[in-house]
Amino acid sequence: MFTKRHRITLLFNANKAYDRQVVEGVGEYLQASQSEWDIFIEEDFRARIDKIKDWLGDVVIADFDDKQIEQALADVDVPIVGVGGSYHLAESYPPVHYIATDNYALVESAFLHLKEKGVNRFAFYGLPESSGKRWATEREYAFRQLVAEEKYRGVVYQGLETAPENWQHAQNRLAD
């Protein structure tokens, strides 16, 4: 009996370590489960994102920390699994199946570790909301909540998104 092979499209940025780990995890699942999946990874999906409906496949697993991907998939008619950061507001979650990194738990773990080591002055380095990195905004929120609950004074520094053109400026700004 012939069973249909499912075509799974992965939309992740292979330049980002976390995204590579997600893709690797999908590969490990395929190997362990012996699933009948054909995986499609578009090398430069941003160049073809306007025609995304033409090449999707049966299911999409995508980086929903990337607002552009989330918007491009808003009205496609295939099942979607979004992967991204958690949100402190339930209404911030996208209307798809969603696997979330627990940003609060991540920040809490680091905070508690430092506290156990005797640190009593805390700072957070993140990116401004305008960067579009929603995970950074959520982690800053978690940091502010934790230091307030524990009655510490926390300092927040919002850096810059770096690129070759502004790297030195960002370094100088951080040093100041």
Cβ-contact 29, 35 below 8 angstroms: yes
- Residue ranges covered by each domain of the chain: 6-101, 103-175
Going along 33-167, which residue ranges are E strands? 37-41, 59-63, 80-85, 97-101, 122-126, 154-158
Domain 103-175, CATH among 3.40.50.2300, 3.40.228.10, 3.40.50.1700, 3.90.180.10:
3.40.50.2300
**Could you give the percent of the chain with pLDDT greater than 90?**
52
Least trusted range by pLDDT, from 25-29, 53-57, 116-120: 53-57
Q: For residues 137 and 5, which has the higher predicted lDDT (pLDDT)?
A: 137
- Examine domains 6-101 and 103-175 and report if their fold is the same: yes
Q: How confident is the model at residue 167 (pLDDT cuts 50, 70, 90)?
A: confident
* Statement: 6-101 belongs to CATH 3.40.50.970: no
Model pLDDT for residues 107-165, shown as the tens digit of each residue:
999 999 999 999 999 999 998 888 888 899 999 999 999 999 999 999 999 887 777 77
Model pLDDT for residues 96-109, shown as the tens digit of each residue:
999 999 999 999 99
Q: Please report the pLDDT score of residue 146 as a whole number.
A: 97
Q: How confident is the model at residue 1 (pLDDT cuts 50, 70, 90)?
A: very low
pTM as predicted? 0.82
Distance, CA of 15 to chain centre: 13
Q: If you count them, how many residues does the chain have?
A: 176
Strand pairing category for 80-85 and 37-41: unpaired
